[in-house]
Structure 1
Amino acid sequence: MSGPLRIGLGILLVLVGALWTLQGLGVVGGSVMSGVTLWAIIGPVVVLAGLALALSARRRGGGTTP
């Protein structure tokens, strides 16, 4: 997987994880996920995974392997 793709996927995971966290905490309503504690736990895990993915791609020089 190329560097820019990994960074983009990492950013997407961070955004989705943040949304899931807010839904789990009941801040964002209108979903069956709203107010469900499980999503308040899964969300930060997804955020951390996204950050790890994006930062690992950045540290490797953006995936500029020959």
Structure 2
Amino acid sequence: MLVLRYLATILSGPLLLIGIIWVLQGFNILPGSFMTGHIIWAIYGAPMTFVGMALAWWVNRGQTALK
């Protein structure tokens, strides 16, 4: 079970980071890509950001540190 916690914690980081980047590019805040200014990327990124946050919280709830 500990291995799954490690894997889920590691997976939540990229999900969160990519989701935030997509939202920022979709809202034309972070320029430099074909996604910049296309609101659909913000729509795709918002659930990905939520899933990353929820996964990180869920696997580490009640835990002060990974043991």
Indicate whether the TM-score tops 0.5. yes
Q: Please give the per-residue CA displacement for 1:14-52, whole angstroms capped at 9, x wherever unaligned.
A: 111000000001111111100000011111110001111
The higher-RCO structure (CA 8 Å, 6+ apart) is: 1
Q: Map of 1:26-65 to 2, 5 A cutoff?
A: 26-59=28-61
Q: What's the TM-score, normalizing by structure 2?
A: 0.80
Q: What's the TM-score, normalizing by structure 1?
A: 0.81
Amino acid at match of 2:44: I
Amino acid at match of 2:32: G
Amino acid at match of 1:17: G
Gaps of 5+ in 2: none
- The two structures, once aligned, show a CA RMSD in angstroms of 2.1
**Counterpart in the other structure of 1:22:** 24
Structure 1 runs of 4+ with >2 Å offset: 59-62
| Rounded Cα–Cα distance in structure 2 between residues aligned with 1:32 and 1:40 | 13
Identity of paired residues, percent? Answer: 35
Q: Tell me the secondary structure at the aligned position of residue 2 of structure 1.
A: helix
Gaps of 5+ in 1: none
